[in-house]
A and B are shown apart, each in its own frame.
Chain A
Amino acid sequence: MRVEEVMNSRVEFVEPDVPVLEVIEKIVNKRIRVVVVKLKDGSYGVITIRDIVYRCLAKDANPENIKAHEIASKPLIAVEKGASLKEVIALMERSKVSNVFVKEGEKIIGYVSLIEVIGGYLIGRLL
């Protein structure tokens, strides 16, 4: 099964200087678990709910005063849309990440998290 068949295509982007509180609001309103930060050097960072808890809330920092780029993980781990689910699982294991992004050229078109991997695996067995 190819990664583009199971990916979540709802990728939400935020600017690097927005407060973490705004990221939390986006995550809650859009019912998502990951947000991409557009960094000033043209690269991307990633914020997951785990980053918000461990890098901001656990340190007693006020999410209104912390900027998105300060807690974002870098670099963003990505594969081309034609990659197989197996390649993604190997990449997740190797890079110790639970979200892998999907690119079409330079454009980010989706992401795959652990739950999409499980879903893709089961769907593959049923179809």
Chain B
Amino acid sequence: MKAEERVIGNIEAMLKLSPIACEILQKAVMEKDRSILEEISRIERDGDDLRRETARIIYKGAFIPYLRSNILRLVEDVDDILNTVDKAGKYCRKINDLDFIRSSIEVGRLLEINVLLCKIMSKNFIEFFKDPEKLKEAAIVVRMLEKEADNMKHSALESLRSRDIEFWDGLFTFNFIESIEEISDVVEDTMDTLQVIVLSL
């Protein structure tokens, strides 16, 4: 297999890990089962391995030099998705009372949006290189969902502020909501990088 194909294959494999991680996070919150969150850290480590291996292939000479920095940036953006899901999982573990985030419509929708975004990216990744129109459509959807996620976060934090809550639980809940919204930001960054790459091909 050519070095370039191995790089694209590895990025796709990293992307395929992202909806799995997001679904575990969603399940952990909705079913109050934090024991499964350890699995997200394992997925994040798998992502790190793939990132390191992909960077090695690129440094060995995959792709023409002017594309390499953007390809590497794409790898790091995808890795960042997994890191951010892991970060959210870690905050979730620290929250004593999960009732607020479980009952919040906004948090539920944020978790749903993240699964959706990661599914769109992982399912269509290879297709994006062949069909720029599909990439354009996906970019619109990603932007729409990111904006919705931003509104959800804003509203969820408003509700959190009006709640009588223990300081540390409030802080970790705040950080959790911030990080689940950050996932959609990172997916949007990934999409931007991908568009630059497809444009340069």
For chains A and B in complex, what number of residue pairs have CB atoms within 8 angstroms?
39
Chain A nearest CB from B163 CB (Å) reads: 16
Binary B-proximity of A73-115 (CB < 8 A = 1, otherwise 0): 0000000000000000000000000000000000000000001
CB of A62 within 8 Å of the partner chain: no
- On chain B, which size bracket covers the interface? 20 to 34
23 contacts between A and B (CB under 8 A): A9-B109, A10-B106, A10-B109, A10-B152, A10-B155, A29-B158, A30-B155, A30-B158, A31-B154, A31-B155, A115-B144, A118-B144, A122-B137, A122-B144, A123-B116, A123-B120, A125-B137, A126-B123, A126-B124, A126-B134, A126-B137, A127-B120, A127-B123
Instruction: Classify the interface of chain B: helix, strand, loop or mixed.
Output: helix
Chain A nearest CB from B130 CB (Å) reads: 14
Instruction: Classify the interface of chain A: helix, strand, loop or mixed.
Output: helix
Which A residues are within 8 Å of any B CB, using their own CB?
Answer: 8-10, 29-31, 115, 118-119, 122-123, 125-127
A122 pairs with B105, CB closer than 8 A: no
- Known A10-B155, A115-B144, A122-B140; judge A127-B119 contact (CB<8 A): yes
| Interfacial chain A residues near B106, Cβ < 8 Å | 10
Chain B nearest CB from A89 CB (Å) reads: 17
